[in-house]
Amino acid sequence: MKFNPFKPNSMAGPGMFSGRFDELQTIEKCLFQTRHGNPQHFLIEGERGIGKSSLLLFVNALATGTVAGLSGGSYSFLVISVDLSQCDTVSRIVREIGVGLKGALSERTQLKEKAKAVWEFLTNWEVLGVRYHREEVNIDEGTLASDLVHSIAGTLESSKGEMDGILILLDEADRPPEDAQLGAFLKLFTERLQRKDCGNCVIGMAGLPTLIPKMRASHESSPRVFETMTLAPLERHESSSVVEAGIKIANETNPIQTSISPDALELISVLSEGYPHFIQQFAYCAFEADRDNSLDATDVVEGAFSENGALAQLGHKYFNKMYFENVTSESYRSVLNAMARHGNEWVNRKVLIEEANVGAFIVGNALRALTEREIIIQDSSRRGYYKLPTQSFATWINAIKSVEEKAGKDAVFRGNAEAD
Ligand SMILES: Nc1ncnc2c1ncn2[C@@H]1O[C@H](COP(=O)(O)OP(=O)(O)O)[C@@H](O)[C@H]1O
Ligand SMILES: [Mg+2]
């Protein structure tokens, strides 16, 4: 038995984290400005699995001084890390941040002593919050927000000269429903911080690409408060460094050393097209498939293809519904395969007729049915143009095709997927 370092189902720790230099540079600049009293809030958007939470985790390590900045600088922020996925109202959001502040304080005994008044206030607040919640009384949102600002100001005041400031990280920020009015709240919150002279408090948030439109719907100018970054897939060499870093971690833990061949590294990079969650999944399964402590391309293919292998796992998590369950016709799937070769670019119907090899009539029917089932998107401004909703869906389809060719056993994967 060997420890497998790859994490297809959880965030990458700083030890395996690769790439994101531009983003980290920008975020470090935001932290630096905040240290000097001019907070620059930031927002990270990107598809599911592209690495938003892992980036926030790395930023947490950067802000607390666990890892050094790109230019060698070191930071000491108090970090409040909040997951907004369960927050359906403003008061829930505010309370989560308050509870997060209390949690962060409790980890710093000295600061907690100094900010005793804040600590006690938050303790009462929490109790109050629970009671109100139970009795389903609506607490006035404005009061809650100003209580929070008050607590943050108190903490900053008590810690003057000892830390750089407070960093509030909001993950899954796209999840609160539109009527939770996150955009309006953040606008109000940042303005109040400013008025209270809390220049050392900065907000960083992450969410799906739906986040910005949602914020805008809540308050037109709220996205402008944030410096925005869109996460793209990793570069080839960055994908390889993820895998190499993982093998290094494995070799530090396991008495038996594992090596990886250049073509295995190459194959993982190619199949994953730089999608971090694909890299982790392919690498994890290849590591499991390996029998001789030397990971090669055959292990990658076997790991990808085996019954509960990488492609099946990715399918279960993201794509089976779109590719298998909602598309029962083999010829419709051929249309999806042809589209996948174009990534998530717009493709003209004529091109698909040439490339899908199933006849114009079937392509027409497939495009109509797939659009209706919201599996593909139709261009509203041009006739006859369609695309897949995400690049990662295209990557997954391409990987299935490519692995099928490599393994030369066409029916196996499909059989597995239909069996569940
Ligand atoms: N920069 C990175 N380096 C290495 N692995 C990463 C990186 N970013 C993400 N991952 C891995 O990719 C997967 C998805 O990452 P996650 O941060 O949860 O994405 P998101 O929050 O965007 O859905 C996880 O398995 C994680 O370990
Ligand atoms: Mg996430």
Task: Please write the tens of the pLDDT for every residue from 3-12.
Answer: 999 999 999 9
Reported as a pLDDT band with limits 50, 70 and 90, residue 344 is: confident
For the chain, the structural domain boundaries read: 20-230, 236-306, 311-419
- For 405, the token pair is 């060719």
Q: pLDDT tens digit string along 178-200?
A: 888 999 999 999 999 999 989 99
pLDDT at 121: 83
Q: Which ligand sits nearest to residue 46's alpha carbon? A: 1
Residue list, ligand 1 pocket, CB within 6 Å = 7-8, 11-12, 16-20, 46, 48-54, 242, 276-277, 280
Whether 79 contacts 64, CB under 8 Å: yes
More confident residue, 410 or 34: 34
Output the CA 12–ligand 1 centroid distance in Å: 6
Given its phi and psi angles, is residue 234 left (phi above 0), alpha (psi -120 to 50 degrees) or beta? beta
Contacts of 311 (CB under 8 A, 6+ apart): 304, 305, 396, 399, 400, 403, 413
> How many CA atoms lie within 13 Å of 88's alpha carbon, on the beta-carbon side?
2
- Its pTM stands at 0.87
Looking at the CA of residue 275, tell me the nearest atom of ligand 1.
12
Instruction: Kindly identify the ligand whose nearest atom is closest to the C-alpha of 317.
Output: 1
Q: Domain 311-419 falls in which CATH fold?
A: Arc Repressor Mutant, subunit A (1.10.10)
- Considering the chain, what is the average pLDDT of its residues? 90
pLDDT tens per residue, range 294-327: 999 999 999 998 888 999 999 988 888 888 888 8
- On the CB side of 147, how many CA atoms lie within 13 Å of its CA? 25
Amino acid at 265: L
What's the topology of domain 20-230?
Rossmann fold (3.40.50)
Atom of ligand 1 minimally distant from the CA of 6: 27
pLDDT per position as a tens digit, 121-160: 888 877 666 555 554 455 677 778 888 999 999 999 998 8
Pocket probe for ligand 1: among 4, 18, 54, the residue whose CB has the most ligand atoms within 8 Å is: 54
| pLDDT score at 418 | 40
Handedness of CA 62, 63, 68, 71 (dihedral sign): positive
What pLDDT, in 10s, does the model give residues 69-115?
A: 988 889 999 999 999 999 998 888 988 999 899 999 988 888 888 88
pLDDT of residue 174 exceeding 60: yes
Return the best residue to mutate from 7, 11, 18 for the ligand 1 pocket (most ligand atoms within 8 A of CB): 11
Which atom belonging to ligand 1 lies closest to the Cα atom of 8?
Answer: 25
CB–CB of 48/219 below 8 Å? no
Distance CA 106, CA 158 (A): 14
Provide the CA 315 distance to its chain's centre, in angstroms.
18
Looking at 136-181, list the stretches that DSSP marks H as alpha helix, in order from N- to C-terminal side: 141-158
Structural fold of domain 236-306? Helicase, Ruva Protein; domain 3 (1.10.8)
- Taking only the tens place, the pLDDT of each residue in 206-232 is 999 999 999 999 889 899 999 999 999
Q: How many CB atoms lie within 10 A of CB 323?
A: 21
108: three-class secondary structure by DSSP: coil
